[in-house]
Amino acid sequence: MPLGPSSGLQPQAAWIEVARSRDGRLIRHQALALQSAGIAAGILQVGGEEVLVVRDHDAAAAGYELDRYRRENVDWPPKESYPVPLSQGVHAAIVFGGLLVLFYMFQESRRFGLDWTGLGRADASDIRGGEWWRMITALTLHADLAHLAGNVVFGAVLGVVLAQSIGVGLAWWGFLLSGAIGNYLNAWLQDASHRSLGASTAVFGALGIQAAYEWMRRSELGYRRWRRWAPIIMGLGLLAWLGAGGVHVEDPRSLEGLERVDIGAHGLGFASGALIGLVLGRVPRRKLRWSTTRQTIVTLAALAVVLGAWALANRA
């Protein structure tokens, strides 16, 4: 099948095969390369393959042009590279889920004779009064099993994804910091009577970190504009879709009559996480490749902060 009227094919001329492939696109590109060099070329269909032919007296020149074309187009188009995960984070995600379940059991049974909800919820007036640990302890409390299950599932998934991007240690520190900062800011922006609990603020914080970090990475790698902004768009979409699942405690004495939305905490958690993600995105990826031992120590340090916050809550 000739390439077109402009190819200069003549029925009486002798034609010689110079290339063949099942990849029709490759053959068409090679034909265009020859035509741009002033060499008439045609394409034939032979046994399921496309055959590139030129006139016999152009065979040597065509061979030279095709060789140059191949050299200039080695590894083109470039294949998209996916960075090797810095860590898997599965074990830390399991610990995260187990910790939330454990605190929920303590909360429901009032283990050790303690009012875990009263001691640890994010009480705006108390946080403003200096009980800063509440912005951390509130992340471990939940209103019911559905609230708990949602945060365990989404938190574990985002924790694993984030661990693969920035390492398990930084992932869970980011999870903790974004949630704590989100609760702290929310306490000052809401009315002093505002009370809330749940890991949702930290879950959306992790989402913000991942979205912002991936946006930074894609910008550095020169992705097309729509692909660079895809993580931000998806992150905001998930925030809008799932962001109505938190718990705002209207009655400070119990968990009855809850309004199941704390958009402020979710949005502030996401924003705090996004800022952390932008900062981490400026760090060369090679500097985030920590040893397993270091990752473990940093992850355990985040756990120690949570336990320390509860120790302060009990003492207070």
Q: What is the pLDDT of residues 197-209, one digit of tens each?
A: 999 999 999 999 9
Tokens matching residue 151? 């945060």
126 pLDDT exceeds 50?
yes
Please, where in the chain does CATH 3.30.70.1530 lie?
Answer: 5-72
Which helix (H) or strand (E) segment holds residue 44: the answer is: strand 41-46
Say how far apart CA 2 and CA 185 lie, in whole Å. 70
Angle at 291 between CA 288 and CA 293, to 5 degrees: 130
Instruction: Could you please state the CATH topology (level 3) that the domain comprising 5-72 is classified under.
Output: Alpha-Beta Plaits (3.30.70)
Say how far apart CA 217 and CA 210 lie, in whole Å. 10
Say how far apart CA 308 and CA 302 lie, in whole Å. 10
139-153: average pLDDT: 92
Q: What is the pLDDT of residues 211-221, one digit of tens each?
A: 999 888 877 66
Please, where in the chain does CATH 1.20.1540.10 lie?
Answer: 90-315
Tell me what pLDDT residue 132 has: 95
Tell me what pLDDT residue 236 has: 74
| CATH class given for the domain over 90-315 | mainly alpha
- The verdict on pTM exceeding 0.85 is no
Closest residue by Cα to residue 50 from 18, 97, 94, 72: 18
Say how far apart CA 183 and CA 166 lie, in whole Å. 23
